[in-house]
Structures are given as structure tokens and as C-alpha cells.
Structure 1
């Protein structure tokens, strides 16, 4: 369990990566630990010191509960990539007309981040906190806007959402977690005094301001085998997977098309998918190509996909995974998509024997749907009812963004 800081000690505490900061016990807004750690207020996802309109914000806190289905903020600890959604989350307002001015702040920050060193010096340091339990929060780290993995026009994107048939826009912003293990109280004091590049400034932030160099906090996982709990969605999202299972449980052929579309959207390098004929799939429900390297001179790998629509409590065992492996050809890799989970024995054997098989399990499917903005029951039911069942491959619709799709072979 992570070390924690008592509420009474917050005002003088340094911010240490993944440390818990305890909330108060009076039962009111004054129990918020962020407001006591930093002079940024005690409410909202965007909290800052200064004025957005005057463009003199000196320090920004981004707070995420990690619990909003429609707006799935997500930190990938292995790469340091963090996705955060803006604060225009209801219809009836313009993109930048929010009460907390969070989207306006995002617009300015990303504009400055793409300029020269003088422009980036105007970007306030961004600190990420996440809900722990009760009023407690966890400090997740220091963020820099943008990512070396993305094109500049992908870093801040206005996305459309629909609620009760009303359309509106919100921002999806991409940040990079910097390799800064602690934000000291000395640097916080310098930031608030208007000297963010003072002597206590972390070298990672200084490097980003001076040259837009991202020294990302990349933390490869020490455990390559996910547990059953890690493969299945959290309790609040379980209904999404149950709804998908109920829709496809009596029609496994349609689930193959759904699984292919999930895999295609999961990775932009999936170039082509062909769902095979049900009577002659040979243990491979879909075939396709995966693109590596530059677009002007790519290398293409072949893959075979198998899909199983199982109940959430029915794991995929060794026999089923072995079936896919036995049918992989030379230089092919496998993709196994299931609404359930891979049993511990099967998962362990695959990883220890280093078989090239990608597992997409229940939680991965749920996260994919949420990233597509399908996180409400009415939206999910409308999507499934409209796209499935189908006569032609739904993969064609899933791969519109420059991907090639071949039609399934004609029935014999």
C-alpha cells in the first residue's frame, strides 16, 4: 500500500509520485486535500492559480475520479501517455463557454506548447491527482501538454458527443507524464512567486520548456500475466460487457464481425481484416495484415483472429488457445478476442512459451467502447442494434480511416 500524508501535514508536504494525501473528517468541502496542498480551490476537474481570461495562470491541477463512463480519462503507466477530457460535458454551451474555463485553458496551453521556448514558458506546470478513496487523493505526477507519439493536430481534439439527441463538443487532450519522482515544496513556492524555471525546477520540466523535449515516465509492467480481475471490467462498467454478451450470445458469427471491428479500432496499424467463411474458418475467424514502419515503405505482418463470446464467469482455457496457436502459419501472430477472460494457466503458458498472441478480454472491449463515446446504455443499445446483425462486414465501417477491408469470401 502506498505511503500516505495526514491531512494536518498537507500544507508543507512535497508531492511524491503515487503517494496518497488524506482528506479531512469534518464532512464538508474543507476536507478536500488538494485545496490544502495547493492554492487552487477545492472543487472541479480543473483547478488553477490565476485568471484564465488574463492569461496569468501560474499553476494547474487536473483532477480525475477515473469513474466517469462517458469521459474515460486514462493514464498508461507503461508509456506515460495521459488522456484527459475537458469540462464541456453537457449540451447547451459552446466549446469554450464552461463555468470553470477549463476548455479555454486547454486551448491556450496547447497553443503555447506548439510555439517557441518563450511561448512554452507561459505554460503553467500541470499536476495530476486522482481519487483514491473517500476524500483521499493520489498524486500521479507532473504533466507536459502534447506527446512525441502524436502529430500536433492530434494532441488537442474537439470531439462530438450526443446526449438525449442533443449534440455538443468537448476537448480530448493528450499529455505526457514526465519522469519527475517528486514535486518539491520549494518548486511550488517558486511557481507561485512567478519563477517556474527557478533553481528548484525539475530538469524534466526545464527541458520541455527549453526544447519541447519529453522525458517521459515509462514504467514497463513487471507482471505480464493479467489476473482475472484485471481482465474483466470494474463493477461500474460490468453492465456494458453484459449487454454485449447478451446481444451476441446466440449469434457467434455476428460476434466474429464485432471482434474484428474491436481489434481494428484497438490499433491503428491494423491495415486489413477479412472475416472468414463460418464453415471453413479452420480455427481462424478472421485474417488480416498489420502494418509496421513508415507509410511510404511499410512491412506487413499477417495475423489470424479468433473470437469467443463467453459469459463473464466462463474463462478461456488452454485447449481453446492451443487451437489458435496450432493454426498459426509461419511469421503469423494471433489475436484472441473474448467477452470473458483468459484462464491463469493458459495465460501463463502462452507468455512463458513466448507465443505471439494478443489477448483482448472483457475489460479491453469495455475500454474500447468508452473511448468511442459509447458509454451510456441507450448509446450502446443503439450502436449494437444499428450495426449488428449485419449482412456485410461491419469491419468496413470500423476501418474507414484509411484502412483496407476485403469482403468475406462468397458462400460455397
Structure 2
């Protein structure tokens, strides 16, 4: 059980993945961030400094997400130390005309990111938090800076198109942040930052100063362990996710060959560099395979890696076992990898054998498929329409 820090918040250091809690009154007073960092209890960006949108006048930026908006799926990539955040323009109009100036702030900090590094121009610490779903408790995700190593100004902040419920097109920002390798943000530095002294403070973290002065990205990366996902991990679905998987299963349960075609499309969505995916001939057991290529790097220096795909349209309580995964593994040639696509899950014993023998197989289970399609296509009704039009 996660320990919740809720006492003397104004004097607490910030520990990565620690949970900070407020009262239990069921209203705005439950929000711990005002006491923790002297910011307001609004949504999105919370700022210290005036005017709000000028980088050199901002003292501190706090950004909190709840990870629950399917239309705007903020995402934390803990393995690579990256955070994807969507701006606060949620309807037609000027991209930068938002209630709390969030998109103007995004524009300002990313312009600073791609400007010439300056050891004298002030820049605010950006503190990321994620709601836990319990009252207004929040988890500290890390100290962030805009951009990422290898990403250009055309890539780390992009204006993307969406369609409103009324069918009107509009734009919003998608931003990429790097979470720095700073496990603890000290209260001493926070106090200095609140006084506008973040850059000159003796308590400023070295990775943050390295980014300010040299645009060096020292990421906080956390490699996963063996990676054996439980049945629950693969099948624990929200209401919308259940609807997606049910639609797929009911549509393809009696037509495994048609499901192969859908599985190939799912691989293309999950792995954008996959190409030349071809459905192969039926096998004796009635199933069908597909083969394809995955492009690594682009241009003349790029190479293609072959892969084989196995697809199983199973009821969500009927797992893929050792026999099925062995079938896929047996078809992998030297320097190939495999992809298993299933509307259910890979059973525990099969998963253990897959990982212990270090077989290069990607597993797309029910949970993966549902999240992938909801992120890519929107609501379950949109996914149903896509299935009808394409499969």
C-alpha cells in the first residue's frame, strides 16, 4: 500500500512517485498542491509569477494530469523518461485562446527550449503530478523540461487536429517533455524558486542546470523487470475498453481469417514502421499467419527486420497457452521477431517460458488492443464504424 504524505506539506521535499494528500472533505480543500507548492487549485498548468506567459517571469510551473481523458491521452513513458501532454484547447477557435493560458505557456517554454542556451535567462522548474483517483491525492512524477534528445522543434511541440462533438475541426498542442534524473526535488530549491531564484540557487539540481546551460537531457529511466504481465494486467478493462474488445470478438470469432487482416492493421498502428505485412496461406489447424518487415532508421542507412505474426480471436477469459506461443516461436528464423495479437491474454506459464527463454515476441493483448484503438480512433462508436468500413 502506498504511503500518503499529508502532514506539513509546505516543508516536504518532493520524492519521485511519492503520493501527497490533502483533507478528506470532498471539496477543493482536499487538493494538496496549494499547501505543497503555494499554487492555486485549478486544472492544467498552475503558475507562480506574473505575467503568466512570459518564461523569464515565471517562477514555478506545476502540471497535473489525471491520465483518464481518452480524447487527450496524456502518457508517462517511465522506461524512457518521457511525458506526453496535450494542451488545454478543447474546442474551435484560436489555438492559444484558453482559459488559463496553458497553450501560450507551452509555446513560450518550447521557444525557450529551442533558443540558444543562456545561463542568465530565468526559466521555471516544471513539476509534474498525476492524480491517483483517491480524493485529490496526487503523485509526483518528476522534474521536467520541454523537448527530448533528438527531437526537433517540429516534433516536440506540434499542433494536431481534432473534431468536436458538433463536427467542427480545431487544433490543440501535443507536447513532449523529458523527466530529468532527479529523484528528489529539495524543499530548499523549491523555496528559492518561489522567490525567483531557481537559476542561482545553490540547491538547483545538476541535471536541470545542465539542461539550462547545455540542453543536455539526463533522463530518469526505469527499466522494467522480467515483464511477465498477469492475466489481470492484460484483461482489466474500462467500460469503453470492454465495449471495444466485445465488438471485435463478436465480429470475428467465427472468422479467424478475417481477424488476421484486422490483426495486421493493429500491428501497423502499434508499430508505425512496420510494412509489407502479408497474410500467408492457411495451416492445418485452421489458423493463418502473417509476415512483415519492420524498418529501423530511414533512408539509405535504414534496414528491415523480418517478423512473423500470430493472431488469436479468443474470448477474453480464454487465454493463449504454451501450445499456441510455441507455434509462433517455432516459425521464427534467425534475426526475426514475433508478434502475438489476441483479444484475450497470454497465459502465465506461456508468458514465463517466453521471457525465461528470451524469445523476441511482442504481445498485444486485449488491454493493449483496446487502449491502442481508443487512443488512435476515439470513442467505441468510431471504432465500430472503422471496423465496419475496413473489415
TM-score category, normalised to shorter length: over 0.9
Contact persistence 1:187–1:196 (CA under 8 A): yes
Q: Which residue of structure 2 aligns with residue 184 of structure 1?
A: 186
Aligned partners of 1:256, 1:149: CA distance in 2, in Å?
Answer: 36
Contact persistence 1:284–1:305 (CA under 8 A): no
Worse-superposed segment, 347-356 or 120-129: 120-129
Matched, 1:98 2:137: no
Q: Which residue of structure 1 aligns with residue 220 of structure 2?
A: 217
Q: Which residue of structure 2 aligns with residue 394 of structure 1?
A: none
- DSSP-derived class of the 1:153 partner: coil
Structure 2: unaligned runs, 5 residues or longer: none
Matched, 1:376 2:379: yes
Q: Which residue of structure 2 aligns with residue 68 of structure 1?
A: 69
CA offset at residue 138 of structure 1? 0.8
Q: Which residue of structure 1 aligns with residue 355 of structure 2?
A: 351
CA offset at residue 291 of structure 1? 2.3
Contact persistence 2:62–2:127 (CA under 8 A): yes
The CA deviation string for residues 121-170 of structure 1, in whole angstroms up to 9 with x for no partner, is: 44421111111122211111111111115343111111111232222211
- DSSP-derived class of the 2:154 partner: helix
Gap change, CA 1:150 and 1:278, over 3 Å in 2: farther
CA offset at residue 235 of structure 1? 2.6
Matched, 1:238 2:242: yes
Structure 1: unaligned runs, 5 residues or longer: 390-412
- DSSP-derived class of the 1:95 partner: coil
Q: Which residue of structure 2 aligns with residue 337 of structure 1?
A: 341
Aligned partners of 1:122, 1:273: CA distance in 2, in Å?
Answer: 50
Contact persistence 1:112–1:120 (CA under 8 A): no
Gap change, CA 1:228 and 1:119, over 3 Å in 2: farther
- DSSP-derived class of the 2:188 partner: helix
CA offset at residue 284 of structure 1? 5.2
Contact persistence 1:64–1:73 (CA under 8 A): yes
Contact persistence 1:130–1:140 (CA under 8 A): yes
Aligned partners of 1:219, 1:120: CA distance in 2, in Å?
Answer: 32
Aligned partners of 1:317, 1:279: CA distance in 2, in Å?
Answer: 18
Contact persistence 1:112–1:122 (CA under 8 A): no
Aligned partners of 2:312, 2:158: CA distance in 1, in Å?
Answer: 34
Q: Which residue of structure 2 aligns with residue 148 of structure 1?
A: 149
1:145-294 alignment runs, 5 A limit: 145-164=146-165, 165-197=167-199, 198-236=201-239, 237-278=241-282, 285-293=289-297
Gap change, CA 1:34 and 1:243, over 3 Å in 2: farther
Aligned partners of 1:295, 1:119: CA distance in 2, in Å?
Answer: 37
Aligned partners of 2:168, 2:354: CA distance in 1, in Å?
Answer: 47
CA offset at residue 180 of structure 1? 0.4
- DSSP-derived class of the 2:319 partner: coil
- DSSP-derived class of the 1:276 partner: strand
Q: Which residue of structure 2 aligns with residue 298 of structure 1?
A: 302
Aligned partners of 1:355, 1:46: CA distance in 2, in Å?
Answer: 43
- DSSP-derived class of the 1:214 partner: coil
Worse-superposed segment, 241-250 or 72-81: 241-250
Aligned partners of 1:150, 1:241: CA distance in 2, in Å?
Answer: 34
Aligned partners of 2:120, 2:354: CA distance in 1, in Å?
Answer: 46
Aligned partners of 2:119, 2:245: CA distance in 1, in Å?
Answer: 45
Aligned partners of 2:225, 2:117: CA distance in 1, in Å?
Answer: 37
Gap change, CA 1:357 and 1:53, over 3 Å in 2: closer
Gap change, CA 1:242 and 1:119, over 3 Å in 2: farther
Aligned pairs, how many? 385
RMSD of aligned alpha carbons: 2.1
Q: Which residue of structure 1 aligns with residue 23 of structure 2?
A: 24
Worse-superposed segment, 164-173 or 278-287: 278-287
CA offset at residue 68 of structure 1? 1.4
1:381-400 alignment runs, 5 A limit: 381-387=384-390, 389=391
Aligned partners of 1:22, 1:38: CA distance in 2, in Å?
Answer: 13
The alignment's TM-score, normalised by the length of structure 2, stands at 0.92
CA offset at residue 206 of structure 1? 0.5
Q: Which residue of structure 2 aligns with residue 402 of structure 1?
A: none
Gap change, CA 1:94 and 1:380, over 3 Å in 2: farther
Aligned partners of 2:48, 2:254: CA distance in 1, in Å?
Answer: 55
Aligned partners of 1:282, 1:304: CA distance in 2, in Å?
Answer: 17
The alignment's TM-score, normalised by the length of structure 1, stands at 0.88
Q: Which residue of structure 1 aligns with residue 58 of structure 2?
A: 57
CA offset at residue 340 of structure 1? 1.2
